[in-house]
Copies of this chain bind each other. A is one copy, B any other.
């Protein structure tokens, strides 16, 4: 049996992530590996931390990349912040709120669910009601930007309410970081995790996290050990903490961290607010195109993320066939709906490097062509020019 090197096709990645990776970041990833305790590497870690603080808009000392994908970043927040017997209010309006619940119960804690419809933002009133009836709650967890629907919630208000009831907060910012406003210090978020493969347009596999002083104090004063050795921040801090003496914890994913560093350099060069503005503008172009085609958005405009667009599937269209054609004929990946949204929406990402006018125009043109060929009832031939008017 012969095995040979794998050469992937060149796709355009406009699903819910991974998004297109900037070639600069791919190149950075292939630089020579050095040791994880090499002083030169440690210097790079320090710079990474500073750039990540800026991306999160925080001065939090405990700000670093977890050496595993976003799901592990989520778990890092929960296993460190939550102890057995705790009560955690989990606001759920999509897949990732449900996953938070899983994390809470696996920590031996009780999850009180605050449910909102998929596609709607978390309702602050419902959170406050839950806090009133659960005075023993210690933590509130919610998703800032739901990757399963593209709905954004009002993180600032939710954190304010949580703090009013003496709860610390855990916030999922996997899809929001670098793509739309996220202000960790201004909003007083306590624990936050994100991913690299969304609006940072880095390769997947790393999860940036940040913890406020209050969160750090809670972690340092736990009554029980963190159930995960790999994710125990009391141990990880010794490697990522300040000072020249770095204690060995685990072997860092060196080359993935080169890529992560480069993605932050790219972000810093563009400027965080310019990145938000670019994401917003490209969303406007995409929206104009889909509206010209006669397709609607699943999420109300007020709570719609520019970087993740849930588009309603027109009646009678074989949505999987459309995605297959886009992938096989156009090398274009868009996302399906997850769970109850399967067959109802497509998820079209405009994240990071993939958030470009070129991609908007290419995607609109391709979808218009394929939908027309499939006999879908759309207003064909107008989408691309409608988008161009936004960009002009």
Contacts and interface: CB of A to CB of B under 8 A. Distances in A.
Interface stretch (A126-134, A260-268, A301-309): A260-268
A3 B72 contact: no
A74 B250 CA distance: 11
Given A6-B47, A204-B252, A253-B203, A31 B36 contact: no
Contacts of A248: 338
A338 B27 CA distance: 34
B255 A17 contact: no
A8 B228 contact: no
Interface string A71-102: 11011000100000000000000000001001
Contacts of A21: 32-33, 255
Q: Chain B CB within 10 Å — which of A51, A99, A227 has the most? A: A227
Contacts of A295: none
Interface string A330-367: 00010000100000000000000000000000000000
Contact of A4 (B26, B227, B251, B265): B265
Contact of A261 (B6, B26, B229): B6
Interface of A: 1, 3-11, 13, 15, 17-18, 20-21, 24, 26-36, 38-41, 44, 47, 50-51, 67-72, 74-75, 79, 99, 102-103, 105-107, 195, 197, 203-205, 225-230, 248-256, 258-259, 261-262, 264-265, 268, 327, 333, 338
B18 A251 contact: yes
B229 A99 contact: yes
A34 B20 contact: no
Nearest to A269: B3
What 3 pairs across the A-B complex have the smallest Cβ distances? A205-B253, A30-B30, A68-B68
Contact of A11 (B35, B102, B264): B35
A259 B27 CA distance: 14
B26 A13 contact: no
Contacts of A262: 5-6
A203 B254 contact: yes
Contacts of A205: 67, 205, 252-256
B75 A255 contact: no
A167 to B, nearest CB: 22
Nearest to A17: B251
Contact of A106 (B228, B268, B327, B338): B228
B203 A3 contact: no
Nearest to A198: B251
B203 A250 contact: no
B32 A8 contact: yes
A35 B15 contact: yes
